[in-house]
Amino acid sequence: MNRRVVVTGVGVVSPLGASTADTWRGLCEGVSGAGYITRFDAQEYDVRIAAEAWDFDPAAVLDPKSARRMDRFCQMAIAAGLEAIRESGLDIAANADRIGTCVCSGIGGMATWETQYQILLEKGPSRVSPFLIPMLVVNMASGNLAIEVGARGPSMTVISACASSLHGIGESYHMIKRGDADAMLAGGAEAAVTRCSVAGFGNMKAISTRNDDPKRASRPFDRERDGFVIGEGAAVLVLEEYEAARARGAEMLGEIRGYGASADAFHMTLPAENHEGAQRAMRSALASAGLAPGDIGYVNAHGTSTQMNDAREAVAIREVFGAHADHLPVSSTKSMTGHLLGAAGAAEVFACLYGMKHGVLLPTINYEYPDPDCRGLDFVPNVAREATYDNSMCNSFGFGGQNAVLIVSKV
């Protein structure tokens, strides 16, 4: 089977707001979601800034008992999933056995692990929560969302670091195309602003130490970038078979047109020279979509604000798009949301879909000093622009050299 797959709903929890509307407004206005860490006391840390999901309140979507039995990443996944279903209008009960979940995470319940390990050390094994394992394991975002909404189709999780949710959307797309499901709730959730996580990323020099100016810390492709700003949030998309969506009169936000994946097979954390693996993933996505490089009107870059990633991704885009790269808008919304790790790809597909729907090119904020290593691309500096375009590419590249690229198009 080769069925078409469309997106009929999106839900987002991000540092810019606890809904799609608030997040979209912040993206269009070029707002930074970064600030000083409140999830723990970071005064002794070299890194004291993050992009937390400041407005998220689990009580808005979960009763207190249920909330206590879920890590924060699961709580946000359910909030985003419920919003996506509301926007879609999908009746899950009418086709529950054919509707699945694939909500992904790179790290999962890190906060739960840290808290319960401290209890183990201080109070002994008998005091560790019986909910420790079901709270921290990464698949529970998918599992809990399926339980919450009664989706009885395929339920799984992809873990590929910062490419997790884009891989999850791509694999869900394939499941619908080949007839294994009629709809999927696909995306990602991450809540890794924790003591151990920030210490680990900080000690590997991956995150920004611009503690005196958090709003300007995430600056993808800028010459003065010094690392990413760790963020938290969730984004879930309702993917649906085209004919079924049309039959019920659903509004279609866009179509999943192509998907590519590759491995660098090079290094644990560094991208390959000229980001050769990313090039193969982008070319694979274009071939899957049946599109030429010149058909792409916008690229939402992985653009983490790290020295090596941004420079090598820019080279890869130049190599794949050739002369078209001179006219191709490329921006990184991580400049505003921070890096949502395993949830980043799904949040950035949302940005692509809404950008096409509303005729907006989202900016790369904090872009002040052009870096010659980033090859002079149009990074849509600092201010959103009006534009009409039909096809967008979204890039996500994870530690371990695991690459995912998705192409979404107007229907």
Active site residues: 162, 302, 339
Contact 212, 59 (CB under 8 A): no
DSSP 40: S
Q: What is the C-alpha to C-alpha distance for residues 312 and 193, in angstroms, rounded to an integer? A: 27
Q: 381: which 2 tokens?
A: 């500096």
Count of other CB atoms within 10 angstroms of residue 74: 34
Closest Cα partner for 363 from 384, 347, 392, 348? 384
Q: What is the C-alpha to C-alpha distance for residues 202 and 138, in angstroms, rounded to an integer? A: 23
Contacts of 401 by beta carbon, 8 Å cutoff, 6+ apart: 263, 264, 265, 266, 267, 271, 272, 277
In sequence order, what are the beta bridge partners of 79? none
Contacts of 278 by beta carbon, 8 Å cutoff, 6+ apart: 262, 264, 271, 272, 302, 312, 313, 316, 395, 397, 403, 405
Ramachandran class of 396: left when φ > 0, alpha when ψ lies in -120 to 50, beta otherwise: beta
Helix (H, G, I), strand (E, B) or coil at 164: helix
3-state SS of the chain: helix, strand, coil percent to 5?
40, 20, 35
